[in-house]
Structure 1
């Protein structure tokens, strides 16, 4: 007789996410040490990307923990599958495992490849089009308006 493995708890998944964040910080530290030892960057040039990937894994783990405890989701999130600048929309540039907004004067940066990660911003608007209703954050609402979509405020 085989036993069914126990379903992990949200706390166990959050603990794993904490370990991933610690690993990302250790990789960042290693990148800093190597940049001092090898100013040409031949030895550690891959490390910022590696740290960004580990941070993305930590984010996905935290989202999974929330999925395991849906009653604790007090907010509604943007439903788009990629990230944007929350103020300026699709203005992101990624390099070396980090992403920044290209809008002059914005200054926002993220320690992961935000443009390929599911949007983690709160839904503030709804897009109504032929496909139905889609919940959007403020940044995605900027893009929807620029594309001629009908965008309305959304309150959960």
Structure 2
């Protein structure tokens, strides 16, 4: 099973709700007597739940960042049309949609988010963006294409 940031955020939300419920429950008991507080452990648990909720939110953010790794192939493409770029005088233009970038996108590593895992016949795994996958589907015979987050 693959853990997603959304699953961790959902758990954090549940922990936050339990924390609030526990604090509300503990708040209904009058304290101030000379006897030891019978709800010390419950209040400690509420604090731990609150800390757990914070940690789950941090873990979700970290996981989301890891999943948003750049494609990293050593040349750029149009994110929508693939290998359709021209580059001249430091400006890149897609031949299909005419979108432009104010840098030589062709000769720089791709910084689009990797959205696919491509496994070739030898078992080599390459993470690619949507634009690179367009060209890879045409060129890579017998490769397996897996949408990231779906495996």
The TM-score with structure 1 as length reference comes to: 0.49
- 2:87 aligned to 94, 97, 100, which one? 94
Cα RMSD between the aligned structures? 2.1
Q: For 2:105, which of 110, 114, 123 is the aligned residue?
A: 114
**1:153 CA drift (Å):** 0.6
The 5-angstrom pairing of residues 21-32 of structure 1 reads none
**Structure 1 unpaired stretches of 5+:** 1-70
The whole-number CA distance in structure 1 between the counterparts of 2:146 and 2:73 is 16
User: 1:77, 1:122 within 8 Å by CA — same for their partners in 2?
Assistant: yes
Structure 2: runs of 5+ lacking an equivalent: 1-61
Aligned to 2:146: 152
How many residue pairs align between the two structures?
A: 84
Residue 83 of structure 1 is matched in structure 2 by 76
Give 1:96 deviation, angstroms. Answer: 1.6
Q: Which residue of 2 aligns with 1:140?
A: 132
Shift of 1:122: 0.1
Per-residue CA distance 1:1-36 (angstroms, 9 max, x = gap): xxxxxxxxxxxxxxxxxxxxxxxxxxxxxxxxxxxx
Contact persistence 1:144–1:151 (CA under 8 A): no
Q: Matched residues in 2 for 1:126 and 1:150: separation?
A: 8
Structure 1 segments (4+ residues) deviating >3 Å: none
